[in-house]
Structures are given as C-alpha cells and as structure tokens.
Amino acid sequence: MFTEQAIESAGIESPRDFVAMVPNMTLVEVQNVGNSFITIRGISQARNSEPSVAVLVDGVLETNPYQFDQELTDIREIEVLKGPQGAVYGRNAIGGAILIHTVDPSDHFSGAARVGVGNGTSEKAQVAVSGPIDSAGTLKVRASLNYYNTDGYRQNAFLDRKADPYRDYSGRLRLLWKPSEQWSADLRALFDRVETTAFYYIIPRNLEANPFASFTTPPNANDVTSAIQNSNLGTDNRDVADVALKFDFNLGPGTLTAVSDYNRTKEIDTGDAYDFRPITTSIAYNCPPCFLGPRPPPTAAQGGPFDLSQIQFIDVTTYSQELRFTSSRIGGFSWIAGAYYVHTERFISTDNLFDRGAGIPAVYETPRVDPANPYATNTNITFLS
C-alpha cells in the first residue's frame, strides 16, 4: 500500500512509478499510450483484450484497459492486491486488483499548486482546490487540473528531431454530498487528453544490414543500440472521459452501494510499419518481385517508390452498473455480495498502408459497433476469530 506520504516521497506520478516498486508485478507500455499490459504473478493479457487485473478508482471499476495509463494527480492512496480478487471485486480480477483513491473533498477551503521543469525540455503544472459549498458542510467539492509537456528524450536520427514528444492535459472534479449519516452521494468526473507519437520501434543491430534476416536469424536482445530512423514521426492522440455516481446507504445490518459509470475512450495511432526505417532502406523498397509487387521504382502511375505505414483507431463507450452489499461485522463474521453489468460499444479499425513519402493519409472507416454485455457476480465471506 502507498499512502499519500509515500506517494509524495517516492515521486509517484504515473502507474509505471508504483508498479516498479511492487514485487512480482510488471507493466509493459509499448507502441501507444493506451497499450498497457499489467502482469501480476505471471498472469497478463493480450493486446486489445480485457485485462486480468481489476483497476478501481474511488470504488469505481475501470471498464477499458486503454484508460489505465494516466498521470496520477491528487491521489491519496494506492493499494495493490495480488492473486484472484473476484470474490470481492468481481469482473477481470483473476490476477489481482489495483485500488486508487483520490483526495477527498475537505471540510474547510484549501488549495495547492505545484510547478516543475526537467530534462527533455519538460514542464509540469498542477493545481487543486477543495472545500464546502453549503454552510452546513454537507456538500463538498474538490477540483484539480494537471498539465505536463516534454519535447522528448529519444532522437530520431533520420528526421533529426525528438521521436517521443508528449503532452497531457487532465482534470478531476468530485462532489460529495452527505446530508446524514444514513446515506451519501459521490459524483466524480474526469477528462484526460494525451498528444504524443507511436510506433518508434528499432530492429536489433544484428539485423540492421539485412532486415530480411529477421525471418531466419534470432535477434540479439542485448544489442539494441540502433538509432530510431522512422521516416514518419507518427501521431498518438487519446481522449478519456469518465463520469461516475456512487450512492452509499447505511441500512443498519450493512451498507448498500450503487455505482453507475459512463466512460468513453478514443485513441488514434499512426506511424511507420516494419522495418521502421527510411523508404529507400526499407524492406518494401528493396524487395525483389515478391508479395509487395514489382521492385520500385515502378511506373509513374503507381505513385513512385513506397514503404509501409500503419494506423489504428479505437473508440469504446461503456455504461456500467454495480450493486454491492457489505454487511456489518458481527463478532468476527462479515460478508459481501454484489452484481455487476456493463454494456460496451466498441469500434476498432487497423490498417496497413502504402507510404510514398507524402506522410500517412487519413483513413475513413464506416463504424461497425461490436457490442458486448458482460456481467459478473461476487460473494465473499470472512470470519476472523
């Protein structure tokens, strides 16, 4: 568990920071900002699939793995639970659960601000305000904003510029209404906008002279000092919007919790395809007559020499509802029971394109929604003598 003081002392500002401090847990961030693979005790996930680790923010289950990798601002506690947690947290918890709690609205007006600069020509600014809205103190609010920008750290030798610029704008709003000790309502909203690049891969140095050798020669994972040489810088833009409303009712024998959540996550990635090198040194350009067609330069009608590029667009909207009853402890006995339902509208388009040196063209697809309606139930009984 990471308390607010531990988060501050360790400089935890993103998921990769706390994951690096947890044994038997890894986070692979590859290709684009939404592509994050959480592994706990060897249980991981596949690309564009459901996660094996449940992530809950203020008790609300994240419905899309593409929303996990965000700047962690205004956080008071992070807890990592290893091993199957479905009995308590239901869906997508076979590997474990990550519980993230934001700072609660305060009883008195308060505010905080932070600014910083760093290498990579980076700058960061954060601000938060909190306090009661009504005189009785039953309705409280907390709002925070975060801005982070960097020119990048890795050089693209072909384009002579940084390969990994990154810009993030995010904000949280939380309203907590507690008119009595019997019930409360907690409304939270979040937005996050990331603008960066994607697909800045390199190939192992022992394959650099002949990229075709990748089909027959094992790569040398210890020799990856080749420079990034993508002919297209590429783009990676992700937007996350999330609104959740949580009610807690104290019924005496226990607490009934109802959580409604709306989330929309969109991300578009463009960039070079294999072998991620300038057109005139790429496989596609130097390939003799093969599956890519005649060796360039072809006729003028064919558009001139070409390479390959790629693009992916994903747009996911989810609506979820959870009901959970947590009993009061009687002696050493307590129990939890709940039900969860989520409706998902998912569109994904993945394309491989010809690149003739004019950049990556816009690709338009007619959306075909792939709906899904998973549900889950969970029960947990505990006895402590």
Q: What is the pLDDT of residues 266-322, one digit of tens each?
A: 999 999 888 888 877 777 776 655 544 445 455 444 445 677 888 999 999 999 999
Give me the domain span that covers residue 253: 109-383
Give domain status of residue 357, yes or no.
Answer: yes
Please indicate whether residue 275 or residue 76 has the higher confidence score (pLDDT): 76
Give domain status of residue 272, yes or no.
Answer: yes
Give domain status of residue 360, yes or no.
Answer: yes
**Among candidates 263, 241, 111, 234, which has minimal Cα distance to 169?**
241
- Cis peptide upstream of residue 307 (ω within 30 degrees of 0): no
Per-residue pLDDT of 204-223, as tens digits, reads 766 666 666 667 777 677 77
Pairing of strands 110-118, 36-40: unpaired
Per-residue pLDDT of 317-340, as tens digits, reads 999 999 999 998 888 888 888 888
CA distances 194 to 90, 147, 155, 235, 238, Å, are: 30, 10, 20, 10, 5
The domain total for the chain is 1
Q: CA–CA separation, 300 vs 244, rounded Å? A: 56
Give domain status of residue 169, yes or no.
Answer: yes
Q: Which residues contact 238 (CB under 8 A, 6 or more apart)?
A: 32, 33, 34, 66, 192, 193, 194, 265, 266, 267
Q: How far apart are the first and last CA of the chain?
A: 25
Give domain status of residue 86, yes or no.
Answer: no
Give domain status of residue 72, yes or no.
Answer: no
Assign residue 318 the CATH number of its domain.
2.40.170.20
Give domain status of residue 80, yes or no.
Answer: no
pTM of the full predicted structure? 0.85
Per-residue pLDDT of 121-134, as tens digits, reads 899 999 999 999 99
